[in-house]
Amino acid sequence: MRLTHLLYEKVERVATITLNRPEKLNAFAGNMREEILEAVRAAGADEEVWAVVVTGAGKAFCAGGDVNELAAETQAASPAATTDRHTMSKIVLAINSTEKPFIASVNGIAVGGGCNLALSCDIRIASDRARFGEVFVKRGLHPDWGGIYLLPRLVGYAKAAELIFSGEVIDAGEALRIGMVNRVVPHEELGTRTRELAHAIAANAPLPIALAKRGLQRFYEMDLAQAVDYEAFALKVCWDSEDRKEGLDSFLEKRAPNFRKK
Protein backbone atom coordinates (compact mmCIF):
# COMPACT_ATOMS: atom_id res chain seq x y z
CA MET A 1 0.00 0.00 0.00
CA ARG A 2 1.11 3.55 -0.75
CA LEU A 3 -0.44 5.66 2.00
CA THR A 4 -0.32 9.43 2.32
CA HIS A 5 -2.75 10.11 5.16
CA LEU A 6 -2.43 6.86 7.12
CA LEU A 7 0.13 4.77 8.92
CA TYR A 8 -0.17 0.98 8.76
CA GLU A 9 1.79 -1.25 11.12
CA LYS A 10 1.67 -4.96 11.81
CA VAL A 11 3.15 -6.36 15.03
CA GLU A 12 2.78 -10.07 15.55
CA ARG A 13 -0.93 -10.73 14.83
CA VAL A 14 -2.20 -7.17 15.34
CA ALA A 15 -2.49 -4.54 12.58
CA THR A 16 -2.77 -0.87 13.56
CA ILE A 17 -4.32 1.70 11.23
CA THR A 18 -3.43 5.24 12.31
CA LEU A 19 -5.16 8.28 10.81
CA ASN A 20 -2.25 10.62 10.16
CA ARG A 21 -3.28 14.24 9.60
CA PRO A 22 -2.54 15.46 13.13
CA GLU A 23 -2.25 19.09 12.04
CA LYS A 24 -5.92 18.88 10.93
CA LEU A 25 -7.09 16.71 13.85
CA ASN A 26 -7.09 13.76 11.40
CA ALA A 27 -10.08 15.18 9.53
CA PHE A 28 -10.99 13.30 6.36
CA ALA A 29 -9.72 14.99 3.20
CA GLY A 30 -8.47 14.14 -0.27
CA ASN A 31 -8.19 10.41 -0.81
CA MET A 32 -7.97 9.64 2.92
CA ARG A 33 -11.26 7.73 2.93
CA GLU A 34 -10.06 5.57 0.04
CA GLU A 35 -6.84 4.86 1.93
CA ILE A 36 -8.80 3.80 5.02
CA LEU A 37 -10.89 1.45 2.90
CA GLU A 38 -7.75 -0.02 1.34
CA ALA A 39 -6.13 -0.51 4.76
CA VAL A 40 -9.25 -2.11 6.25
CA ARG A 41 -9.52 -4.51 3.33
CA ALA A 42 -5.80 -5.31 3.49
CA ALA A 43 -6.02 -6.14 7.19
CA GLY A 44 -9.09 -8.25 6.57
CA ALA A 45 -7.39 -10.23 3.82
CA ASP A 46 -4.08 -10.75 5.66
CA GLU A 47 -4.03 -14.26 7.15
CA GLU A 48 -1.34 -13.14 9.59
CA VAL A 49 -3.59 -10.45 11.11
CA TRP A 50 -6.01 -11.65 13.79
CA ALA A 51 -7.04 -8.28 15.29
CA VAL A 52 -7.07 -4.67 14.06
CA VAL A 53 -6.64 -1.39 15.96
CA VAL A 54 -7.83 1.96 14.56
CA THR A 55 -6.47 5.15 16.17
CA GLY A 56 -5.36 8.69 15.40
CA ALA A 57 -2.02 10.49 15.40
CA GLY A 58 -1.48 13.47 17.65
CA LYS A 59 -4.14 14.80 20.00
CA ALA A 60 -7.26 13.74 18.07
CA PHE A 61 -8.87 10.52 16.91
CA CYS A 62 -10.75 12.17 14.04
CA ALA A 63 -12.61 15.46 13.65
CA GLY A 64 -14.82 14.13 10.85
CA GLY A 65 -14.86 15.70 7.41
CA ASP A 66 -12.48 18.54 6.68
CA VAL A 67 -14.84 21.53 6.76
CA ASN A 68 -12.74 23.55 4.31
CA GLU A 69 -12.91 20.75 1.77
CA LEU A 70 -16.64 20.22 2.32
CA ALA A 71 -17.32 23.91 1.83
CA ALA A 72 -15.41 23.88 -1.46
CA GLU A 73 -17.35 20.96 -2.93
CA THR A 74 -19.94 21.66 -5.56
CA GLN A 75 -23.33 20.01 -5.28
CA ALA A 76 -22.43 17.67 -8.12
CA ALA A 77 -19.32 16.52 -6.30
CA SER A 78 -21.05 16.06 -2.95
CA PRO A 79 -20.97 12.49 -1.58
CA ALA A 80 -24.72 12.77 -0.92
CA ALA A 81 -25.41 13.47 -4.58
CA THR A 82 -24.76 9.91 -5.69
CA THR A 83 -27.17 7.01 -5.25
CA ASP A 84 -24.25 4.60 -5.01
CA ARG A 85 -22.76 3.76 -1.63
CA HIS A 86 -19.94 6.23 -1.07
CA THR A 87 -16.58 5.33 0.39
CA MET A 88 -17.54 6.02 4.02
CA SER A 89 -20.32 3.45 3.74
CA LYS A 90 -17.96 0.94 2.17
CA ILE A 91 -15.53 1.34 5.08
CA VAL A 92 -18.22 0.67 7.67
CA LEU A 93 -19.51 -2.32 5.72
CA ALA A 94 -15.96 -3.66 5.31
CA ILE A 95 -15.33 -3.46 9.07
CA ASN A 96 -18.68 -5.10 9.71
CA SER A 97 -18.16 -7.92 7.25
CA THR A 98 -14.55 -8.65 8.24
CA GLU A 99 -14.48 -11.59 10.63
CA LYS A 100 -11.61 -10.09 12.62
CA PRO A 101 -12.27 -7.91 15.69
CA PHE A 102 -11.68 -4.18 15.27
CA ILE A 103 -10.73 -2.04 18.27
CA ALA A 104 -11.02 1.75 18.18
CA SER A 105 -8.36 3.36 20.38
CA VAL A 106 -9.85 6.83 20.81
CA ASN A 107 -7.06 9.18 21.83
CA GLY A 108 -8.90 12.49 21.59
CA ILE A 109 -11.83 14.16 19.91
CA ALA A 110 -14.01 11.90 17.76
CA VAL A 111 -16.84 13.83 16.15
CA GLY A 112 -19.00 13.49 13.05
CA GLY A 113 -17.68 10.76 10.81
CA GLY A 114 -14.81 10.26 13.24
CA CYS A 115 -17.27 9.36 15.98
CA ASN A 116 -19.07 6.91 13.74
CA LEU A 117 -15.82 5.35 12.52
CA ALA A 118 -15.13 4.53 16.17
CA LEU A 119 -18.68 3.20 16.61
CA SER A 120 -18.25 0.90 13.61
CA CYS A 121 -15.50 -0.98 15.44
CA ASP A 122 -16.39 -3.91 17.68
CA ILE A 123 -14.73 -2.48 20.81
CA ARG A 124 -13.86 1.07 21.86
CA ILE A 125 -11.19 2.03 24.38
CA ALA A 126 -11.13 5.76 25.14
CA SER A 127 -8.54 8.05 26.64
CA ASP A 128 -9.87 10.15 29.50
CA ARG A 129 -9.26 13.09 27.14
CA ALA A 130 -11.55 11.69 24.43
CA ARG A 131 -14.76 13.43 23.41
CA PHE A 132 -17.55 12.21 21.17
CA GLY A 133 -20.19 14.03 19.16
CA GLU A 134 -22.71 13.55 16.36
CA VAL A 135 -22.19 17.14 15.26
CA PHE A 136 -23.66 16.80 11.76
CA VAL A 137 -26.76 18.93 12.44
CA LYS A 138 -24.52 21.84 13.44
CA ARG A 139 -23.19 21.81 9.87
CA GLY A 140 -26.60 21.31 8.25
CA LEU A 141 -25.78 17.67 7.46
CA HIS A 142 -27.27 14.25 8.11
CA PRO A 143 -25.15 11.59 9.90
CA ASP A 144 -23.16 9.22 7.72
CA TRP A 145 -20.70 6.40 8.38
CA GLY A 146 -23.65 4.30 9.62
CA GLY A 147 -24.36 6.53 12.61
CA ILE A 148 -28.14 6.13 12.61
CA TYR A 149 -27.69 2.34 12.67
CA LEU A 150 -24.74 2.03 15.05
CA LEU A 151 -25.49 4.58 17.77
CA PRO A 152 -28.98 3.42 18.87
CA ARG A 153 -27.74 -0.16 19.10
CA LEU A 154 -25.22 0.99 21.69
CA VAL A 155 -27.12 3.61 23.68
CA GLY A 156 -30.80 3.07 22.83
CA TYR A 157 -33.13 5.05 20.60
CA ALA A 158 -33.90 7.93 22.95
CA LYS A 159 -30.30 8.73 23.81
CA ALA A 160 -29.22 8.35 20.19
CA ALA A 161 -31.97 10.75 19.16
CA GLU A 162 -30.85 13.25 21.77
CA LEU A 163 -27.22 13.12 20.67
CA ILE A 164 -27.98 13.27 16.94
CA PHE A 165 -30.66 15.98 17.21
CA SER A 166 -28.63 18.20 19.57
CA GLY A 167 -25.15 17.67 18.16
CA GLU A 168 -23.88 17.69 21.76
CA VAL A 169 -20.27 16.71 22.37
CA ILE A 170 -19.83 14.47 25.42
CA ASP A 171 -16.73 13.53 27.37
CA ALA A 172 -15.29 10.05 27.81
CA GLY A 173 -16.91 9.53 31.20
CA GLU A 174 -20.39 10.17 29.81
CA ALA A 175 -19.64 7.99 26.79
CA LEU A 176 -18.76 5.16 29.18
CA ARG A 177 -21.86 5.74 31.30
CA ILE A 178 -24.24 5.46 28.33
CA GLY A 179 -22.44 2.53 26.70
CA MET A 180 -20.71 4.20 23.75
CA VAL A 181 -17.31 2.93 24.87
CA ASN A 182 -16.13 -0.22 26.64
CA ARG A 183 -13.63 1.40 28.95
CA VAL A 184 -11.89 4.69 29.71
CA VAL A 185 -8.20 4.71 30.63
CA PRO A 186 -5.69 7.41 31.57
CA HIS A 187 -4.47 9.11 28.41
CA GLU A 188 -0.85 8.09 28.99
CA GLU A 189 -1.88 4.42 29.23
CA LEU A 190 -4.13 4.29 26.16
CA GLY A 191 -1.58 2.82 23.75
CA THR A 192 -0.39 0.21 26.21
CA ARG A 193 -3.86 -0.82 27.31
CA THR A 194 -5.07 -1.05 23.72
CA ARG A 195 -2.13 -3.20 22.68
CA GLU A 196 -2.64 -5.46 25.69
CA LEU A 197 -6.27 -6.07 24.76
CA ALA A 198 -5.54 -6.48 21.04
CA HIS A 199 -2.79 -9.01 21.65
CA ALA A 200 -4.88 -10.85 24.25
CA ILE A 201 -7.65 -11.21 21.67
CA ALA A 202 -5.20 -12.19 18.93
CA ALA A 203 -3.81 -14.94 21.17
CA ASN A 204 -7.18 -16.73 21.10
CA ALA A 205 -8.54 -19.05 18.45
CA PRO A 206 -9.76 -16.88 15.53
CA LEU A 207 -12.51 -19.18 14.26
CA PRO A 208 -14.81 -18.93 17.32
CA ILE A 209 -14.18 -15.16 17.44
CA ALA A 210 -15.22 -14.83 13.79
CA LEU A 211 -18.36 -16.88 14.38
CA ALA A 212 -19.17 -15.02 17.58
CA LYS A 213 -18.79 -11.66 15.81
CA ARG A 214 -21.26 -12.78 13.18
CA GLY A 215 -23.69 -14.04 15.82
CA LEU A 216 -23.42 -10.89 17.93
CA GLN A 217 -24.17 -8.76 14.87
CA ARG A 218 -27.46 -10.66 14.49
CA PHE A 219 -28.40 -10.10 18.13
CA TYR A 220 -31.40 -7.91 17.30
CA GLU A 221 -32.61 -10.21 14.53
CA MET A 222 -32.66 -13.55 16.37
CA ASP A 223 -35.04 -14.91 18.96
CA LEU A 224 -33.76 -17.33 21.59
CA ALA A 225 -34.46 -20.43 19.51
CA GLN A 226 -32.55 -18.99 16.56
CA ALA A 227 -29.68 -17.99 18.84
CA VAL A 228 -29.24 -21.47 20.32
CA ASP A 229 -29.50 -22.99 16.84
CA TYR A 230 -26.73 -20.66 15.65
CA GLU A 231 -24.64 -21.57 18.68
CA ALA A 232 -25.04 -25.26 17.87
CA PHE A 233 -23.92 -24.63 14.29
CA ALA A 234 -20.92 -22.53 15.42
CA LEU A 235 -19.91 -25.07 18.03
CA LYS A 236 -19.96 -27.87 15.45
CA VAL A 237 -17.72 -25.83 13.13
CA CYS A 238 -15.27 -25.16 15.97
CA TRP A 239 -15.38 -28.75 17.22
CA ASP A 240 -14.16 -30.00 13.85
CA SER A 241 -11.19 -27.62 13.83
CA GLU A 242 -7.59 -28.32 14.75
CA ASP A 243 -7.61 -25.28 17.04
CA ARG A 244 -10.31 -26.90 19.22
CA LYS A 245 -8.02 -29.87 19.80
CA GLU A 246 -5.08 -27.55 20.51
CA GLY A 247 -7.17 -25.56 22.96
CA LEU A 248 -8.16 -28.63 24.97
CA ASP A 249 -4.72 -30.23 24.76
CA SER A 250 -2.96 -27.08 25.94
CA PHE A 251 -5.33 -26.81 28.90
CA LEU A 252 -4.71 -30.41 29.95
CA GLU A 253 -0.96 -29.98 29.43
CA LYS A 254 -0.93 -26.71 31.38
CA ARG A 255 0.69 -24.65 28.61
CA ALA A 256 -0.25 -21.70 26.44
CA PRO A 257 -2.15 -22.73 23.29
CA ASN A 258 -0.58 -22.32 19.86
CA PHE A 259 -3.54 -21.67 17.62
CA ARG A 260 -2.97 -21.92 13.87
CA LYS A 261 -6.31 -20.76 12.46
CA LYS A 262 -7.15 -24.29 11.28
Domain CATH number, residue 211: 1.10.12
Listed in sequence order, the residues at least 6 apart from 145 whose beta carbon sits closer than 8 Å to its beta carbon are 88, 89, 91, 92, 113, 116, 117, 119, 120
Quick one: pLDDT at residue 84? 46
CATH number of the domain that residue 110 is part of: 3.90.226.10
pLDDT at 83: 42
Q: Are residues 177 and 117 in the same domain?
A: yes
Q: Is residue 41 part of a domain?
A: yes
Give pLDDT tens digits along the chain (262 positions): 788 899 999 999 999 999 999 999 999 988 999 999 999 999 999 999 999 999 999 999 999 887 777 666 555 455 544 444 588 899 999 999 999 999 999 999 999 999 999 999 999 999 999 999 999 999 898 999 999 999 999 999 999 999 999 999 999 999 999 999 999 999 999 999 999 999 999 999 999 999 999 999 888 888 899 899 989 999 888 888 888 877 888 888 887 887 887 7
User: Does some domain include residue 153?
Assistant: yes
Residue 228 shares a structural domain with residue 136: no
Q: Is residue 262 part of a domain?
A: no
CA distances from 118 to 52, 145, 206, 232 (A): 12, 10, 22, 31
Q: What digits encode the pLDDT tens for the residues 57-88? A: 999 999 988 777 766 655 545 554 444 458 88
**In 3-state terms, the chain is what percent helix, strand and coil (to 5)?**
50, 15, 30
Average pLDDT over all residues of the chain: 90
Same domain? 90 vs 211: no
Q: Same domain for 41 and 77?
A: yes
Same-domain check for residues 89 and 124: yes
The reported pLDDT for the residue numbered 70 is: 67
Residue range of the domain that includes 17: 6-202
- Provide DSSP, 166-204: H--EEEHHHHHHHTS-SEEE-GGGHHHHHHHHHHHHHTS
Q: What is the pLDDT of residue 49?
A: 96
pLDDT of residue 255: 78
